[in-house]
């Protein structure tokens, strides 16, 4: 087998250097071509590669895949393998790829193909895409707050910091009016959060959409209303104080066509903060071209 490795050299530690990664992958009988995912890797892509490996966190996965969807690599199509090396690794978690790296690499030799839906958003100056989610409320506020701080080096420290800040945000955030229509049914109301999601988890590894099927042709809208504020605060407090915790089930509504608007100018698409129009509504649906991920059989 032949693979093209796209690696974020700033992700992970010294065990995840270019040479160590190539050595680790080659030990499983996979020929490996290397490119730095932070540089112009598109022109280096091997046309005879059996699949592409993305080694990095959620941000690296998103940047690479956007090039395959609507960038310089849009005319190319490869199955995708992931080596999670980020902080939250929400995409890899949703694909159940958080085990031993050597076992994961070995599984690529006889893999199962997992279809993965891509979310499409109409209403901006250009069509936008998401892998994780498009959302409003407390998580854009958290992302803005984290940008102002110096984060710890260790992933565990980053996640704990994010959870502590999120706890304060939830306690103080004023619910906003959300205009929401899912497959023609009105679900408008005042919420602390409205997240249109395709995967299980969001932010600092919070599994809010545990029943998500990333390839079922549907997306989920996860809502946090005023009536759930205290219970959600208790859940976040539990996450901060204990590694052992139960996931928290918020109301989830499945759909294929979603119209959403929010009484605020802040939103996010995956890990990117964006500005939206308070009076605008956005149409969210599934892109016809899905992705193929390699997962253990």
pLDDT digits over 179-223, tens only? 999 999 999 999 999 999 999 999 998 989 988 999 999 999 999
Q: What is the pTM of this model?
A: 0.91
Residue 274 pLDDT level (bands cut at 50, 70, 90) = very high
Mark whether 63 and 157 lie in a shared domain. Answer: no
Are residues 94 and 123 both part of a single domain? no
Sort 233 into a burial class: Cβ within 10 Å, 0-12 / 13-18 / 19+. middle
As a whole number of angstroms, the distance between CA 86 and CA 88 comes to 6
Q: Which domain holds residue 265?
A: 119-288
Residue 103 and residue 142 in one domain: no
Instruction: Say whether pLDDT at 59 is over 70.
Output: yes
Mapped onto helix, strand or coil, the DSSP state of residue 99 is: coil
Compute the mean pLDDT over every residue in the chain, rounded to the nearest whole number: 93
Same domain, 150 and 221: yes
Claim to verify: residue 133 and residue 59 sit in the same structural domain: no
Q: Each residue of 73-123: pLDDT tens digit?
A: 989 999 999 999 988 999 999 999 988 999 999 999 999 999 999 999 999
**104 and 127 assigned to the same domain:** no
Q: Give residue 245's pLDDT band: very low, low, confident or very high (50, 70, 90).
A: low
Of 57, 81, 110, the last residue of a domain is: 110
Do 76 and 140 reside in the same domain of the chain?
Answer: no
- The verdict on residue 103 lying in a domain is yes
Residue among 135, 132, 161 at smallest CA distance from 148? 161
Domain CATH for 70: 3.40.50.10330
Same domain? 191 vs 246: yes
Q: Is the pLDDT of residue 227 over 90?
A: yes
Among the three residues 110, 127, 151, which one is the final residue of a domain in this structure? 110
Q: What is the pLDDT of residue 247?
A: 74
135: left (phi > 0), else alpha (psi -120 to 50), else beta?
A: beta
Average pLDDT in the 35-58 region?
A: 95
Model confidence pLDDT, tens digit, residues 142-192? 999 999 998 888 888 999 999 999 999 999 999 999 999 999 999 999 999
Q: Of the candidates 110, 129, 163, which is a domain's last residue?
A: 110
Q: 10 Å Cβ neighbour count for 168? A: 13
CATH assignment at residue 256? 2.60.200.40
In this structure, are 129 and 101 located in the same domain? no
Report how far apart, in Å, the C-alpha atoms of 7 and of each of 31, 36, 37, 271 are: 15, 5, 5, 18
Rounded to whole angstroms, the Cα distance separating 105 from 145 reads 36
Domain total of the chain: 2
200 and 271 assigned to the same domain: yes
- Is the domain of 130 the same as that of 33? no
> Contact, 266 vs 140, CB < 8 A?
yes
């Amino acid at each position: 087998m032949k693979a093209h490795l796209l690696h974020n050299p700033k992700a992970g530690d010294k065990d995840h250097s270019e040479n160590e990664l190539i050595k680790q992958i080659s030990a499983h009988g996979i020929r490996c071509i290397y490119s730095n995912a932070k540089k112009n890797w598109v022109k280096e892509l091997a046309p005879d590669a059996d699949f592409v490996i993305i080694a990095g966190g959620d941000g690296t996965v998103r940047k690479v895949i956007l090039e395959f969807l609507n960038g310089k690599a849009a005319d190319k199509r490869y199955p995708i393998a992931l080596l999670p090396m980020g902080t939250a690794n929400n995409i890899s978690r949703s694909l159940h790829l958080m085990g031993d790296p050597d076992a994961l690499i070995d599984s690529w030799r006889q893999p199962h193909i997992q279809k993965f839906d891509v979310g499409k958003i109409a209403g901006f100056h250009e069509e936008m895409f998401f892998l994780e989610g498009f959302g409003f409320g407390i998580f854009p506020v958290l992302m803005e707050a984290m940008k102002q701080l110096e984060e710890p080096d260790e992933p565990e420290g980053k996640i704990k910091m994010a959870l502590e800040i999120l706890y304060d945000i939830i306690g103080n955030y004023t619910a906003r009016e959300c205009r929401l229509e899912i497959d023609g049914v009105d679900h408008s109301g005042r919420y602390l959060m409205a997240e249109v999601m395709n995967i299980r988890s969001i932010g600092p590894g919070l599994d809010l959409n545990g029943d998500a099927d990333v390839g079922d042709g549907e997306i989920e809208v996860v809502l946090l209303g005023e009536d759930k504020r205290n219970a959600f605060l208790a859940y976040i407090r539990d996450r901060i104080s204990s590694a052992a915790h139960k996931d928290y089930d918020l109301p989830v509504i499945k759909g294929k066509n979603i119209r959403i608007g929010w009484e605020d100018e802040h939103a996010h698409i995956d890990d990117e903060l964006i500005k939206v129009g308070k009076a605008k509504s956005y149409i969210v649906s599934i892109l016809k071209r899905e992705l193929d991920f390699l997962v253990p059989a």
